[in-house]
Chain A
Amino acid sequence: MARMKFLCDAERCIECNACVTACKNEHEVPWGVNRRRVVTINDGKPGERSLSVACMHCSDAPCMAVCPVDCFFYTEQGVVLHNKDLCIGCGYCFYACPFGAPQYPQVGNFGSRGKMDKCTFCAGGAADAGSDEEFKKYGRNRLAEGKLPLCAEMCSTKALLAGDGDQVSNIYRERVVARGFGSGAWGWSKAYPGGGS
């Protein structure tokens, strides 16, 4: 069985935020909730790099370990999902998550944050696949439709890869070999002579 993984290639990401927009649109995510975000390191400086991040669907996930109502579960493909009917919006998963993935419709207001929301790897949630209920609570279940996460599908530079871990790393390995390794590599420094500085 496939083990789903995300990979973001910092050599390719151009911080266009298409993945973020695609995700918001596909799942009709409310304002203020970002299942995916793009972080830029050294913005505007030499060596600037961007990375698109969302839930990394950890093995032995920290969020799962701390949830007081134990509402997380793995799919057969290693995707970490949660059950919004059980979630009490305590915020603990956000404290535990290394990647800041869990999101809440509201922060503050007497500790009431609403049900946690996060990236589902486009695999829906604890409801019948493809049902209205599933779409309202968790967004589209593209995996059930035989499609991969839209963020990666959309990515114009194919910086963001999503899918079976073995295939993702194969693609990546091939890519590294083809473009060379290090400062002479095909990519950034070719497109911007002088290394972009």
Chain B
Amino acid sequence: MTRQTPIKWMGGICLLVVLLVIGSASVQTTAYAQNSPEVLGTDAQTEFWRAIRQGEQGTVSIPDKNAAQLIQSEGDNWRALRNGPLSVYGAQALIGMVLVLAIFFLFRGRIRIDHGWSGWTVQRFNEVERFGHWLLAGSFIILGLTGLNMLYGRYFLKTLIGDSAFATITAWGKIAHNYLAFAFMIALVLVFIMWVRHNFPSRTDINWLIKGGGIIGPSHPPAKKFNLGQKIIFWLVLLCGISISLTGIALLFPFQTTMFADTFALLNVFGFNLPTAVTPIQEMQYAQLWHSIVSVALIVVVIAHIYIGSIGMEGAFAAMGSGRVDLNWAKEHHSLWVEELDAAGTLNAERDSVDRLSKEEAVKDEAVKGEPAE
């Protein structure tokens, strides 16, 4: 999948440079020329050509002044990183996460509601919250798939569907990626405003962590509206999402941002020693790398999030589906939240619209659900 043979294209450079090194022996030897014009082959002008090889800027008469650089080698580092570690480790992480989840599912199976369905539901997320979530999730999935297609499509999809079908899909994918980016950014803001107050660390998180979130074993550590695992997802999505958005904007408006020069300068204040003279093309290379590194990392995290919100846990999907969760599920996974609602008198349990239980069973469970609505 990777091509790491810079030696070969250096053939191109060699023609430009090496041959010219031999041939241009008189460049800048004006001092010699003046003093002893008869001397031959005294100076190969290595300095002159080395400078060019290392990115020396000349002048051009065309409007694009960036074209004055004869050779930029950073592109080769960029290529080596993107086609090398980024692609390889990225693929390993993505496949690895799917495998880990598959193995977990095989051994642990679906996490059931221990006390079974109660037949009563409580509101967990309202319409606005669910809209925000699905705007984020929907845009994320399409951004993720179209982005991964940019990175890996030519190795898989292209071989399956052929050159032109693949190019058409990728071109549309790029357009989708460019525009859905804004839906993603809006959703990120929405989600932040809606949920940040539930996501500050609290004391219960420590206990939750010690009990391992109750993933293994039957015990369910108490939690408020969001447990520590959910809080971690929240902050990861938020921080990585912002980072992805910023680098994405740099990619959308090529050669117009100085994000990495600024970031490096800021980091240098804290003792780093990063280059602050970043050329426009290097800005793009850094932006592309960081955008995809953080994206792939976040996709890996979100795959686990999707798993636990769907097949991984009974009763979890309803929270974002209908917005109402089963009371027993709520009591097991977010006991403190249920208590808070109960104390505030806003529990408002209703009969489950999905008839999972017979009427008698549901009535029998009245004790479980506490004070019903109305």
Binding site for B on A (CB under 8 A): 5-11, 17, 20, 32, 34, 37-43, 46-47, 49, 51, 53, 56-62, 65-71, 83, 85-88, 90-92, 94-100, 107-108, 110-113, 165, 169, 172, 175-176, 180-185, 187-189, 194-197
In the complex, what's the smallest C-beta–C-beta distance from A88 to chain B, in angstroms?
4
Contact (Cβ within 8 A) A70 B158: yes
Also in contact, A58 and B12, with CB within 8 A (given A47-B30, A185-B40): yes
- Tell me which of B13, B24, B252 contacts A11 (CB under 8 A): B24
In the complex, what's the smallest C-beta–C-beta distance from B291 to chain A, in angstroms?
12
Also in contact, A99 and B27, with CB within 8 A (given A37-B67, A43-B59, A183-B42): no
Residue of A nearest to B153 (CB): A68
Contact (Cβ within 8 A) B76 A88: no
Contact (Cβ within 8 A) B154 A69: yes
In the complex, what's the smallest C-beta–C-beta distance from B48 to chain A, in angstroms?
7
Report how far A10 CA is from B64 CA in the complex, Å: 22
Beyond known contacts A108-B256, A172-B19, A188-B26: 12 more, CB 8 A cutoff: A11-B24, A34-B64, A38-B60, A46-B28, A62-B79, A68-B149, A91-B284, A108-B255, A189-B33, A195-B26, A195-B30, A195-B33
Contact (Cβ within 8 A) B72 A100: yes
Chain B residues contacting A8 (CB-CB under 8 Å) are: 16, 20
Report how far A59 CA is from B14 CA in the complex, Å: 11
Contact (Cβ within 8 A) B33 A194: yes
- Tell me which of B3, B32, B39, B48 contacts A41 (CB under 8 A): B48
Judged by a CB distance under 8 angstroms, whether B183 is at the interface is: no
In the complex, what's the smallest C-beta–C-beta distance from A175 to chain B, in angstroms?
8
Contact (Cβ within 8 A) B23 A113: no
Chain B residues contacting A59 (CB-CB under 8 Å) are: 8-9, 11-12
Contact (Cβ within 8 A) A37 B30: no
Chain B residues contacting A39 (CB-CB under 8 Å) are: 58-60, 67-70
Residue of B nearest to A99 (CB): B71
Contact (Cβ within 8 A) A96 B29: no
Judged by a CB distance under 8 angstroms, whether B303 is at the interface is: no
Contact (Cβ within 8 A) B154 A70: yes
Report how far A98 CA is from B149 CA in the complex, Å: 25
Judged by a CB distance under 8 angstroms, whether B343 is at the interface is: no
Also in contact, A88 and B15, with CB within 8 A (given A60-B8, A111-B253, A182-B42): no
Also in contact, A113 and B15, with CB within 8 A (given A95-B75, A96-B75, A188-B26): no
Can you show 13 pairs from A to B with CB atoms below 8 A apart? A6-B15, A40-B59, A41-B58, A70-B158, A85-B167, A88-B167, A95-B79, A96-B78, A183-B40, A185-B26, A195-B29, A195-B32, A197-B34
Chain A residues contacting B32 (CB-CB under 8 Å) are: 183, 195
Judged by a CB distance under 8 angstroms, whether B5 is at the interface is: yes
Chain A residues contacting B69 (CB-CB under 8 Å) are: 39, 100
Main SS class of interface, A: loop
Chain B residues contacting A97 (CB-CB under 8 Å) are: 72, 75
Most buried by B among A47, A58, A111, A187: A111
Chain A residues contacting B284 (CB-CB under 8 Å) are: 91, 95
Chain B residues contacting A37 (CB-CB under 8 Å) are: 60, 62, 67
Contact (Cβ within 8 A) A172 B23: yes
Judged by a CB distance under 8 angstroms, whether B288 is at the interface is: yes
In the complex, what's the smallest C-beta–C-beta distance from A168 to chain B, in angstroms?
8
Contact (Cβ within 8 A) A60 B3: yes
Chain A residues contacting B72 (CB-CB under 8 Å) are: 97-98, 100
Contact (Cβ within 8 A) B78 A100: no
Most buried by A among B56, B67, B73: B67
Contact (Cβ within 8 A) A182 B41: yes
Contact (Cβ within 8 A) B174 A88: yes
**B window 162-194: CB within 8 A of A:** 163-164, 166-167, 170-171, 174, 178
Chain B residues contacting A100 (CB-CB under 8 Å) are: 66-67, 69, 72
Most buried by A among B13, B28, B150: B28
Chain A residues contacting B167 (CB-CB under 8 Å) are: 69, 71, 85-88
Chain A residues contacting B79 (CB-CB under 8 Å) are: 62, 65-66, 95-96
Residue of A nearest to B51 (CB): A41
- Tell me which of A20, A47, A95 contacts B27 (CB under 8 A): A47
Also in contact, A56 and B12, with CB within 8 A (given A90-B174, A96-B79, A194-B33): yes
Chain A residues contacting B358 (CB-CB under 8 Å) are: none
**B window 35-49: CB within 8 A of A:** 36-43, 48
Judged by a CB distance under 8 angstroms, whether B254 is at the interface is: yes
**B window 42-98: CB within 8 A of A:** 42-43, 48, 52, 56, 58-64, 66-73, 75-76, 78-79, 82-83
Report how far A67 CA is from B174 CA in the complex, Å: 13
Chain A residues contacting B5 (CB-CB under 8 Å) are: 60
Chain A residues contacting B242 (CB-CB under 8 Å) are: none
Judged by a CB distance under 8 angstroms, whether B281 is at the interface is: yes
Contact (Cβ within 8 A) A7 B19: yes
- Tell me which of A99, A108, A185 contacts B12 (CB under 8 A): A99
Judged by a CB distance under 8 angstroms, whether B348 is at the interface is: no
Residue of A nearest to B154 (CB): A70
